[in-house]
Amino acid sequence: MPRSRPPCARPCARPCAPWRAAPRRPRHAFPSGHTGLATALAAAGMLLVVDVLAPRRPWDALAVAAGTVAVGAGTGVALTAIEVHYPTDTVGGAATAVAVVLGTAQFVDAVAAHRR
């Protein structure tokens, strides 16, 4: 989406390199790709852990979900703290990642069940 990054409240420690001064394409910030990638990798990894370990207790699955949330939230807070993204950018990236990973997992399970 065409939404710019937040203005930097403090000056950068070092100036940008001259070859990076004029980007070729607009640098949109929503949703956060870094938060999305971190959350997607965590969610996929947690789904694999669930598949391999096959937790029998409900709190095992809750711990897996908490791990995914912790990674996404940690990345989002860090990017917001260093003023690279607004909080809504990181929430959007994490939500997109969870939706894509869970949708892909459902699709893969449906295809695997159909082939049996």
Q: Does the pTM of the predicted model rise above 0.75?
A: no
Cα 33 to chain centroid distance, Å, stands at 7
* Percent over 70 (pLDDT), the chain: 72
Q: What is the mean pLDDT of residues 69-87?
A: 89
Q: What are the backbone angles phi and psi of residue 86, rounded to the nearest 5°?
A: -75, 160
| CA–CA separation, 86 and 29 (whole Å) | 8
Q: What is the mean pLDDT of residues 83-100?
A: 90
Structure tokens at 115: 């082939």
The confidence score (pLDDT) of residue 17 equals: 46
Q: What is the pLDDT of residues 36-66, one digit of tens each?
A: 999 999 989 888 887 777 766 777 678 778 8
| CA–CA separation, 21 and 31 (whole Å) | 23
Residue 24's pLDDT band, with cuts at 50, 70 and 90, is very low
The confidence score (pLDDT) of residue 5 equals: 63
